[in-house]
Amino acid sequence: MDRFHAMQVFVAVAEEQGFAAAARRLQLSPPAVTRAIAALEKQLGISLFVRSTRHVRTTDAGLRYLVDVRKILAQAQAADDAAAGIYSKPSGRLTVTASQLFGKLFVMPAIIQYLQHYTDTQVEALFIDRKVNLLEEGVDVAVRIGELADSSEHAQKVGSVRTVICASPAYLKQHASVMVPNDLLEHNLISSGGANQASDWRFAANGKDKNLSVQARLIVTSNDAILDAVKQGFGIARLLSYQVVEALANNELVLLLEEYEIAPLPIHVIHREGINASAKVRAFVDLIAEDLRADKFLAD
pLDDT tens-digit profile of 2-54?
A: 888 888 988 998 888 888 888 899 899 989 989 988 998 888 899 999 887 77
**CATH classification of 163-260, choosing from 3.40.50.1220, 3.90.79.10, 3.40.190.290, 3.40.50.1370?**
3.40.190.290
For the cut 90, the answer to whether the pLDDT of residue 171 exceeds it is yes
Residue 170, SS3 per DSSP: helix
Strand residue runs (E) in the chain: 49-51, 56-58, 92-98, 121-127, 141-145, 154-161, 163-167, 189-192, 198-205, 208-215, 218-220, 236-240, 254-256, 265-271
Q: What does the pLDDT read at residue 195?
A: 44
* pLDDT band with cut points at 50, 70 and 90 for residue 297: confident
Give the separation between CA 185 and CA 187, rounded to whole angstroms: 6
Q: What does the pLDDT read at residue 299?
A: 74
Average pLDDT rounded to a whole number, residues 148-157: 76
* pLDDT band with cut points at 50, 70 and 90 for residue 249: very high
Instruction: Give the length of the chain.
Output: 300
Residue 156: alpha-carbon gap to chain centroid? 14
Average pLDDT rounded to a whole number, residues 45-66: 87
One fold for both 92-160+265-298 and 163-260?
yes
Range with the poorest average pLDDT among 101-115, 133-147, 150-164, 193-207: 193-207
CATH 3.50.50.60 fits 3-84, yes or no: no
Domain ranges of the chain: 3-84, 92-160+265-298, 163-260
Identify which has the larger pLDDT, 238 or 207.
238
Task: Give pTM, 2 decimals.
Answer: 0.69
92-160+265-298 has which CATH code? 3.40.190.10
Who's near 212: CB < 8 A, 6+ residues apart? Answer: 181, 182, 184, 185, 200, 201, 202, 203
